[in-house]
Structure 1
């Protein structure tokens, strides 16, 4: 009696694509966690910002306590630090040293590269939220429970939007320019872009422009969610619009070398 062995079915193209993206996300995550400079930007600077804002009265009119007022903005700063500054600089120098040119010869493709980086950013952001949230809770932070689901959505949208923006910069200009642009943007957005401080504190002549920035949408919406428990629909829509526009632009104009 003849017996035949059947081979397991080959994975579909969709399964193969998902697997490649997940592997790229794992590679990007390990790279970010093993880079000392990125860890300083991702963890040390936000922690220092949180401690500094809590020990001062710069946000005394925002919430009933300094830590409640400061923590949402510091979480927004974590998003910009990891998704925009960290990813932008890392990708810019990967492009210079030929890493991206090598990836361009694989089935990963531009879209897969972007998705892999988004996965890495979300993973590191989760760790940042745990660390910053734990430190803030130790200092007395009490977020509004009703706003936590909205805050999670905002963090994911913000991470996606700023990752796409970071890749757009890294994929279109020289690494030195990427380094300058992302670091300068980090400082300006943190100070006057609605991240650490409410966008209403921006100068009057900048107010209409600041209100449309993804940084203001993220920072102000997180404050509304975690301080008063309200959901900012306009903030979500602005972040969604930036995610779509920056994602399309990064996919369309990203240069591998």
Structure 2
């Protein structure tokens, strides 16, 4: 009589690693919860863009620009504030967190798993995108109270550049965090954030910056993101050239991060 094969235990774990998509999703969920549970970091990610929004909405800094467009201060300010949200979360938030994860050995542990560099980058991009959604909702609610009226078209047309901006700045943050020491990462990332937020065309458009060529500023990921968001939210037009610039930065920075990222 032939032997009967034993039935598989349904509770037994699957052999081999989980599929790539499931690994990325699990990493993205872990990164998202870690960011949302960090009250200090989350407060800063919300507080800084909110301060920028209120500062621009209640001062006369952008009055000449608003008069030229025939729009309110908050309408003119909101695209730049959303660009600042993506810049803060993707570059500063993830860059600093990843730098210290690397210092304390968290990334060394991840290097022993099948996640890989590509999975780590995609997981962190998912987390950044989740936090940016929270920022968008908060800024949108505050903006609505102040009179922001983007319309459905404006909101929908802001999504493609935000997605591309999140990808580009997440890759930049990981490139910095994965190639230099954690202490240096903190300094470099904060310096990049300050320069790109103030002079990089994100919060203030390139043509409003004194002594800087608009074409040069809009060739930066910050300038391209700010210009694309202003085109979508204010003019209800998708700026394909600026989206292509963002896509190019995302591909190049993502490839560099994947190639040079060090786990320890």
Tell whether the structures are fold-level matches, with TM greater than 0.5.
Answer: yes
Q: Among residues 175, 186, 208, which one is paired with 1:179 in the alignment?
A: 186
Deviation track 1:121-174 (CA, whole Å, cap 9, x = no partner) reads 111111111111111011100014333322111111100110001000000111
Distance 2:183 2:40 in 1: 16
Going from structure 1 to structure 2, the CA distance change for 1:146 and 1:11 (only over 3 Å counts) comes to farther
Identify which range, 13-22 or 134-143, moves more after superposition.
13-22
CA contact (8 A) 2:17 2:114 kept: no
The structure with the larger Rg is 2
SS at match of 2:19: helix
Identify which range, 141-150 or 221-230, moves more after superposition.
141-150
CA contact (8 A) 1:147 1:231 kept: no
- Alignment RMSD (CA, Å): 2.1
* Equivalence map 1:64-103=2 (5 Å): 64-103=71-110
Q: Which residue of 1 aligns with 2:24?
A: 21
Tell me how far 1:14 sits from its aligned partner: 9.5
User: Aligned pairs, how many?
Assistant: 255
Q: Which residue of 2 aligns with 1:151?
A: 158
Q: Among residues 210, 223, 235, which one is paired with 1:216 in the alignment?
A: 223
Q: Which residue of 2 aligns with 1:45?
A: 48
Q: Among residues 242, 246, 262, which one is paired with 1:255 in the alignment?
A: 262
Tell me how far 1:38 sits from its aligned partner: 1.8
Distance 1:4 1:255 in 2: 45
Q: Among residues 32, 36, 40, which one is paired with 1:33 in the alignment?
A: 36
SS at match of 2:237: coil
CA contact (8 A) 2:206 2:212 kept: no
Going from structure 1 to structure 2, the CA distance change for 1:144 and 1:14 (only over 3 Å counts) comes to farther
Deviation track 1:68-110 (CA, whole Å, cap 9, x = no partner) reads 0111110000000101100000000000000000000011111
CA contact (8 A) 2:218 2:242 kept: no
Matched, 1:111 2:118: yes
Q: Structure 1: give runs of 5+ residues left out of the alignment.
A: none
Distance 1:22 1:111 in 2: 12
Distance 2:174 2:255 in 1: 11
Distance 1:126 1:211 in 2: 24
CA contact (8 A) 1:43 1:128 kept: yes
SS at match of 1:244: helix
User: What TM-score does the superposition give when structure 2 sets the normalisation length?
Assistant: 0.90
Tell me how far 1:235 sits from its aligned partner: 0.7
User: What TM-score does the superposition give when structure 1 sets the normalisation length?
Assistant: 0.92
Identify which range, 18-27 or 207-216, moves more after superposition.
207-216
Q: Structure 2: give runs of 5+ residues left out of the alignment.
A: none
Tell me how far 1:192 sits from its aligned partner: 1.1
Deviation track 1:217-239 (CA, whole Å, cap 9, x = no partner) reads 00111111111111111110000
Tell me how far 1:12 sits from its aligned partner: 10
